[in-house]
Every structure is written in C-alpha cells, then in structure tokens.
Chain A
Amino acid sequence: MPHCTPEQLSLAALREPLPETDRAHLDGCAECRAEVASLRRGVDALAVPQLAAPGAAVLPPPSVWAGIAAATGVTTAPRPEALAAAAPPPPVAVPPAPAVDVPPAAAPERAPAAVVPLRTRRSRLLLAAAASLVVGVGIGAGAVALGTGDDDGLAVAAAALDPLAGSGASGQARVVERDDGSRALELTLDAAPLDEGYYEVWLLDEAVARLVPVGVVQGGGDTTLELPPGLDLGEYPVVDVSVEPLDGDPSHSGESVVRGVLES
C-alpha cells in the first residue's frame, strides 16, 4: 500500500486515531513512523496539561496587584468585589496531581488548590489501541509490561501512583481482565497505617469532576478490588486513593494521598 499522506501523518503525530488502512500501513512502515516521530517532538513539547487552556479560575492574593501597580506605576486598582465575582475561590478541593516532566523545584508549601486537568484524547486513544491489540507502535515503555497473561487474568492497563501533597505514599495499580470478561483493579499501596479512618480507592474522570468508588484498602499491602461490569475505564482513567474519616459521609474527603493515570 502507498505511504500515508503527510496530512494523516500529522494527525498521527497529534495522536488522533487514523483510519484502519493508515494504521495498518504505519504499523509496518519505518519511514512513516519516523516522520510521525519527527513531527511529534513539537507536539510533545507544547501539548502538555500545564499549558492547556485555562481551567478553574483562582483568585490571586492582593500582593499580586500590588506588585503590578509598583512595576507599572498605575494608580488605578481592581475592585475587590469585581475580582471575587470573576474568580471565585477554588471550587474543587481535590489536590493537584504532581506535575510531570517539570524540573525539580521547591515543593509548594501551602495546601494545593486547583486540579490539573488531564489530557483526554490521548489516554482514550491508548485504551482503544490496547482494545484492538494494536500494540507496538507509538506506545510508550509502560506498555511493555502489559499483555503478559498470568493466572488471574490479562493486564489491560496499569498506573504508577504518585504521592500527592507530599504524602510520602506511593503505589502501583493495574487492571486485569479475566476470561469471563470480569475485571479487577489490583492495587499495591505503600502508605502509613491509619489510626483512624481508612483508605478508599476511586476511579476519577480526567476533569476530576466525577468519580466512582472502588473499595477500601489498607496501607502497605496488595489488594484486589472487583470493578463494576460496564465501567468505562476510558471515562474514568484516574486511580485515586483518599484518606476517609469514619464520619458516615460517603463522598470523597478531598484528601488524596496518591494518584495515577491508567495507561494501556
């Protein structure tokens, strides 16, 4: 078959799904793959969550305007009530996921406020790619460990769980699919035992707006949690573990200790 068109290769560099014929060609053509890789360096540099379109507004402290006024010499000032109306206090209390591929820096000392929206098209695409067993092209090293069958099912997705807000906790999660189609989340959580309360596992959507509770776990061990049939991991790809008090409130406490994105 002829090479993919330059336009299709550009879409592939953006990680858009390609028509079946293009995908099949790309699988077997080193030349086209090299072209995609060379175009993707720019995509990978710029299409990162930290540079994405603005998400939740956060009201800056008054010192910020003071600095602007000092630097520019302007004598006007924003009206506090107008500022507050345009930028309400951060509406979501779930701490942000740790920034990836950012040079190390002093950890923020105050409580986190905003949520890092995660990219949508990519992980969905990765899941779709795994579903159709198109593995091997353009999928990162994370895919290497997958696809190895074992007694309790085939791993279809995995996530490294990174600590949030300096919790010091960490973990690994993977989703296994068994022959009968049932799925389970296998979780290894390295976190301090709690005197009160418990750790709860959630699957979140990428906007960190909707969530599905998956089960209760203890720190420092391996747990297997059954996933509800029909749950779309493309919609809820974020594994989150929170500390929950014994207060009878079934909602997320807002205190997450680890989080990671499932990738296939």
Chain B
Amino acid sequence: MTDLLERGGVRVRVGRVSSDGVPPLGGTPEPDDAEVGRRFAAGDEQALARAYERFAGQVHGMAVRAFGPGPDAEDVTQQVFVSAWTGRTGYRPEQGPLPAWLVGICRHKIADTWARRDRQRRATEAAVTEARSAANTTGPQVDTVVADRVLLLGELEQLGQPQRGIIELAFFEDLTHTQIAERTGLPLGTVKSHIRRTLERLRTRLEVDGAALHA
C-alpha cells in the first residue's frame, strides 16, 4: 500500500500534440497515407514499416486502454499488424483508409482476447468443480456479452458502405444520428433507416447464432 502511495513524480499534463512531420529520408518525399495503403495492399514491405510508424501508436493505445500496459496489450498490437500483413489482400483502399482497417482488426483482437480469457476462466472453474466433486448442477457459464462481441464484430465486417460507416460512428464515436448526418452529408432519414436495418441485422445474427452458441 505504501509503495503505491509513494510519489511517482507524475503530474497531469495537457495532451501534447506533435506537429512536426517526419523529415523525408534521403530526400525522398514521404508517401501519403493513401499511398502507404496502396503499397501495403500490394505487398510492399516498406509500406508495412511505414504503416507501423504511423499507426502503431493508435493501435497500441487502444490495446492499452483495453488491457492496461503489458504483455496482453503488446500481443494484441503485434497480432494486429501480423494479421493485417498476412491478410493484406483483404484490404480494399476504396472501402476506407488503412488506419481504419487496422483499428477494425484491433477490435477483433481485443474481443478475441476477452473470449480466450473467458474460455480459460471456464476451464479453471470446471477443473475446480471436478476436483471438489461438487454436485453437478450447472457448468461454468459462457459470458454472453463476450461471445456476442466476437459474433457481432464479424457481422459488422459483412456490412457494405455506407451502413458500416454509419453504425461505427454511432457505436465507436458515440455520435447521435443528427451528428452522423452532418458528418457524412447523408439525409437524416437515410441515416435513421440504415441504423434501423443494421440493428435488426445484428439482432437476427444474435438470435440465430448467439442462441446456438449459448445452448
């Protein structure tokens, strides 16, 4: 306790925004993000390093937010870039910028990590139950939300644009339908009906596969 309360010399600071760009290397102008994305999809190794330079901080920031700093977050960040590289032919530059694609992969890896922990938890609980030879009432319960997340992130992947962008703004950027209409330039009614259809689609997916998963 006393250790924890010792002064760490840390102070709350206002976020610092680094505005200095990266100087061109050897006089070659830096490719822009879109160019990095195209080269990434085409399998240019240099583009993987460039993508890591630019976006690893965002990806790792998400992983740290979910798991705290340490091995779990580092594993997630590593898996995101390895999966992105091995699955690079699945990246469609016309569907959105590379960092958004990486962030989507990161969400999957976070959800997968939760699901893995849940499986480990159940395995441990099952072992404990068995060891105690307890009355065999019910086995360890699947964490429904954890399972739902993996399922639904997969369903989001199947959505085309603009449905996917709209629901992501609602879910992940916490925008209201009015703000989404302003951001995307789509009419309010269109935004509302896309939201409706997507939520119905997610519900259907849960009813069909969620139920089977939890049975």
A residues apposed to B, CB below 8 Å: 6-7, 10-11, 13-14, 16, 38-39, 41-47, 49-61, 63-65, 67-68, 71-72, 74-79, 81-83, 85-88, 91-94, 96, 99, 101-105, 107-117, 119-121, 165-168, 192, 194-195, 197, 209, 211, 243, 245, 249, 251-255, 257
* Chain B positions 88 through 122: 1 when the CB is less than 8 Å from some CB of chain A, otherwise 0: 00000000000000010001001100100110010
State the CA gap A6–B189 with chains docked (Å): 12
Please determine whether A56 and B15 come into contact, CB atoms closer than 8 angstroms: yes
Given contacts A103-B114, A105-B117, contact A45 B10 (CB under 8 A): no
> 4 nearest interchain CB pairs?
A87-B57, A57-B57, A108-B68, A42-B202
B65:A50 contact, CB within 8 angstroms: yes
B206 at the interface (CB under 8 A from A): yes
B110 contacts A255, C-beta separation under 8 Å: no
Q: Are A55 and B65 in contact (CB under 8 A)?
A: yes
Interchain CB contact under 8 A, B70 and A108: yes
Partner among B12, B53, B170 whose Cβ is within 8 Å of the Cβ of A93: B12
Given A64-B78, A108-B67, A46-B153 contact (CB < 8 Å): yes
Interface members, chain B 34-63 (any A CB < 8 Å): 45-46, 48-50, 52-62
Chain B interface (Cβ < 8 Å from any Cβ of A): 1-2, 4-5, 7-8, 10-16, 18, 20-22, 25, 45-46, 48-50, 52-62, 64-70, 72, 74, 77-78, 81-82, 85-86, 103, 107, 110-111, 114, 117-118, 121, 143, 145-146, 148-149, 152-153, 156, 170-174, 176-177, 192-193, 195-196, 199-200, 202-203, 205-206
- Chain B positions within 8 Å of A44 at CB level: 145
In the complex with contacts A44-B145, A54-B58, A58-B69, A92-B103 CB distance below 8 A: no
Known: A42-B148, A209-B15. 12 other contacts (CB 8 A): A44-B145, A50-B66, A52-B172, A52-B174, A55-B62, A65-B56, A81-B22, A82-B22, A83-B53, A109-B70, A121-B174, A194-B5
How far apart are A23's CB and chain B's nearest CB, in angstroms? Answer: 15
CB<8 Å pairs between A and B, sample of 16: A14-B195, A42-B152, A45-B149, A47-B171, A50-B62, A58-B60, A60-B57, A78-B53, A86-B54, A87-B56, A87-B61, A108-B67, A119-B174, A253-B7, A255-B5, A257-B5
Known: A42-B148, A54-B62. A60 touches B48 (CB 8 A): no
With a cutoff of 8 Å between Cβ atoms, the chain A residues found around residue B48 in the complex are 68, 72, 74, 76
Whether the pair B49, A55 counts as a contact (CB closer than 8 A) is no
